[in-house]
Amino acid sequence: MTKMAIVSSYSESCGNATFTKVLHDTIRQYSDYEVEVVELDLNLLQSVQGTIRAAAARHIDDLCSRLAKFDYVNIQLEAGLYGTLPGDIFRRLRKLMRANPNTSVTLHSPRLVANPTSGRSAIKQFLSFHIKSAMKTMMSDYQASIHNRLNRRLVEEAVRNGHAAIVHTKRAQRQIKTFFGYDNVHVHPLRLVPEGFQASRSTLDKIKAGLGMDENAVLIGVFGYISRNKGHFDALDALSQLPSNYKLAIFGRQHPQTIRSDGSKDEYLAKMVKMVRRNPMLNGRVFFLGELGDEDFLQVASAVDVAWLPYYENGQDGSGIASIVMDVCGRVLASASFAFDELNKLIPYKNVARFDIGNELELATKTQMVMTQALPTKPYGDEGTYNIRSQALSYVQASKSGR
């Protein structure tokens, strides 16, 4: 029996854990591999305290000893899983990459080139004497550059070890080829909806009944962690432009990394709640409904009248939430982010309308437009080339293609 290890989060409430579970189950389903998740201890790895970092180092050494015993290893590389400080992240991943010669690395946020837009914006702000705004832009640009430099070091390490890379976009594949002259890069967009999934309205109908919604209510769904890159304020602004029968259900919880140990509220979430309470156009129209289990999420996402993905750029090339929503919901409004641009090149979706990032007026207008149109037929996206089965088999193929 061929044994494969997947290094990732697993028991945590996060997108990587959800994807890892899907990957674990489908590789076992569609291949003869025996798969085990070698789970990361995020409480240890994400701490910056000296004694805990020492314990994290021992944890990594223990994982490396375990990985050496497998036939193949896959490392799910989302940098934040492996630490908070860039130096820690690199050292830990370098050890893991060297633990087993038959390793593949999944790069979820593989940006290697800085976006020039923010740099040009900072220069214009300085020339216009908007010093505070310029400094804020420059700081954001600096933080992004740290992420890009770390990515380059990690990709270079994977290339040095001859490991197969798995990415979600053709653009990431091209960048790795350009920077490192490396061809052992496999492309597959995220797929998380099981084969044979059957949609049902029962879960959402119970929610609507509990909220006292009448039959003419148009329910808009926003899914995922409540965090800055998800565009929740744009969603609230857009809702205020829509007729009163349009309601917004926010399915998601506060991101665990924003929970403070001093008992204070997360600033982003607190501002959202304050906006809903104080804006008369939002009263009785916005519902915070918390996190859903995997099955309930699939059912609710497939049953809402419209799903909104008003995401901002954050360096990621794939979103599990977006992949699920686009696959199961008949009407989706997605921002014109680079990640969604690249996804649409691989899987053209007929149920997705696009709008400019931050343009709540366009979001509101196009929402009303799609509500006048007939629902497209399923499947909403082409499943001939990229599907959940081909995703599992791409990992099997990548595992065998290393040096």
Show the low-confidence residues of the chain (pLDDT under 50): 122, 126, 134, 138, 142
Provide the token pair at 145: 């550059």
pLDDT recorded at residue 186: 97
- Rg, C-alpha atoms of the chain: 22
Q: pTM (2 decimals)?
A: 0.88
pLDDT recorded at residue 219: 97
pLDDT recorded at residue 28: 97
pLDDT recorded at residue 97: 98
Q: Phi/psi of residue 98, each to 5°?
A: -95, 0
pLDDT recorded at residue 122: 45
pLDDT recorded at residue 134: 47
State how far Cα 173 lies from the chain centre: 18
